[in-house]
Amino acid sequence: MRTTGINRAFVAFITFLPVLIYQTEAFYIKNNLTSQYEYDGVPIEAGVDISDAIMVKAVEIPEETVTYEGSQVWRVLADNDQGEFVSYLQETGEVSKWVGTESVIDVLVRPDMIPRVSRFLRERQIKYDVMIPDLQQAIDQENPLPSPEELEELQGRKGHKMEWSSYHRLDDIHGYLDYLAVTYPSICSVMSIGNSFEGRPLKVLRISKGQPNVPSIWIDGGIHAREWVSPAAVTYIIDNLVENSDDLKADYYILPVVNPDGYEYTFRGDRLWRKNRSSPEKGGVCIGVDLNRNFGYKWGGLGTSKQPCREIYTGTSPFSEPETAAIKNFFDATAGNFSAYLTFHSYGQYILYPWGYDKRVPPDYAELEEVGRASAASMKSATGDHSIYTVGNSATTLYAASGGADDWAKAMLKIKYAYTIELRDRGRHGFILPAKYIIPTAQEALAAVNTVTMASLKNYKN
């Protein structure tokens, strides 16, 4: 179905749009969209993203805590052309997409939109299930924290506050890295490869026995702020590598939190914030850039937006953000022989390899598929939960996303094993994964790291 067909079918539905709130970026959409496919008298070309074509007025994002009381997360089962209906709801702001394929899409629905969106879907015979009936309640129950006394006792006993029964703030994570560098100086060292927009250090931990002629492996997490299980899993991986350092066969460079500003904001402001916290463009008011659309390969293509209020906003240019620029500068200067680039995200349980910018694959995709499947098998057997991870090309298996870190690592750095690994779960909790699942999820992530390490060693020797 063409976009113009959607416009004619829904003109009655969208003639008078109410004030919409798109997650934390509240904005107003003028309500005189006409049946001639115009906005404010200006024609909109066919094929243009509606949300990029309409004019948006945003308001400042407040620092006070954003509440999701009464909001729900729905899983929409859209077949064939029905997926375009869901995309339309997203583009006009009535729902906010979490993740999804062409036929199964998870969306956040605000309480004031629930009756409207429900009626809209029913009238078009689109089925949906309510996955999270009260999002704020899920957020409130997600992360039971140790008491201050327990954390103080932990720090006194171990020298740091990190444990994996709860999600930790950035200070705890950075304190843990510093502790490792001081306690295990023969294998651990910390470097700051740059600073975030708000001035927080981007701390990379190097774990190495100093052996010559071994492959280097890059691991990162937390590029999207709301994906808490990613930094938790990466720090768990660090703990395991250090505790078993006698068995190290590669050098590891690990950045647990790529997006420290956004990550901190999810604790103090908006639990579901995704982007970094860079200032708006001149004359604009919407904050942040999607860092995983800001890398310098096929930047600005499919799966991105030039609209600063969108969650997939690319930024003004490749590597326009200090966080992505710091990673680029690190690789420009490093002498490491990198054979793997692993970036951990959530959710959906996928092992994805390039390309993400289009439904195409690199020449060695068969090897990437083989190692991906081996990783999935090891993840399945890592715990008693027997988690299933789907392996495939990013754009085909999930959705197109240009300017991603893994595409850049594969194309520009020539790193062989470049993967985006989407951790638990498959939608029951989504981004609000309860802390009790950190350890089993992290064990699965560690299994993938070990599998990719073995493949890297084999390839490196060849």
Tens of pLDDT along 327-342? Answer: 999 999 998 899 999 9
Q: Identify the pLDDT of residue 273.
A: 98
Q: How far apart are CA 385 and CA 359, in angstroms?
A: 32
Whether residue 254 contacts residue 238, with contact meaning beta carbons closer than 8 Å, is answered with yes
Identical topology for domains 3-140 and 148-461: no
Q: State mean pLDDT over 176-203.
A: 98
203-252 pLDDT, tens digit per residue, is 999 999 999 999 999 999 999 999 999 999 999 999 999 999 999 999 99
CA 272 to chain centre: 11
Domain 148-461 has CATH 3.40.50.720: no
Look up the pTM and report it. 0.86
Please name the residues in contact with 19: beta carbons below 8 A apart, sequence gap of 6 or more.
28
Predicted confidence band of residue 19 (pLDDT cuts 50, 70, 90)? very low
Contacts of 282 (CB under 8 A, 6+ apart): none
CA distance 376 to 389: 5
The pLDDT score that the predictor gives to residue 79 is 80
CB atoms within 10 A of CB 314: 24
Q: What pLDDT shows up at residue 405?
A: 98
- The domain segmentation of the chain, as residue ranges, is 3-140, 148-461
Q: What is the mean pLDDT of residues 191-211?
A: 97
Averaged pLDDT for residues 275-301: 94
Kindly tell me if the per-residue pLDDT of 55 is higher than 50: no
Query: Rounded CA gap, 168 and 173, in Å?
Result: 7
Q: Which CATH topology does 3-140 take?
A: Alpha-Beta Plaits (3.30.70)
- Is residue 275 within 8 A of residue 262, CB to CB? The reply is yes
Q: Which residues belong to the active site?
A: 422
pLDDT over 70 (residue 148): yes
Instruction: For residues 127-131, give the mean pLDDT.
Output: 96
Tens digits of residue pLDDT in 358-384: 999 999 999 999 999 999 999 999 999
Looking at the chain, the whole-number percentage of residues with pLDDT higher than 90 is: 78
Q: Higher confidence at residue 185 or residue 14?
A: 185
List CB contacts of 105: < 8 A, sequence separation 6 or more: 75, 76, 78, 83, 86, 97, 99
Confidence of residue 63 (pLDDT cuts 50, 70, 90): low
Per-residue pLDDT, 428: 96
Q: Is 238 helix (H, G, I), strand (E, B) or coil?
A: helix
Question: How high does pLDDT run on average in the chain?
Answer: 87
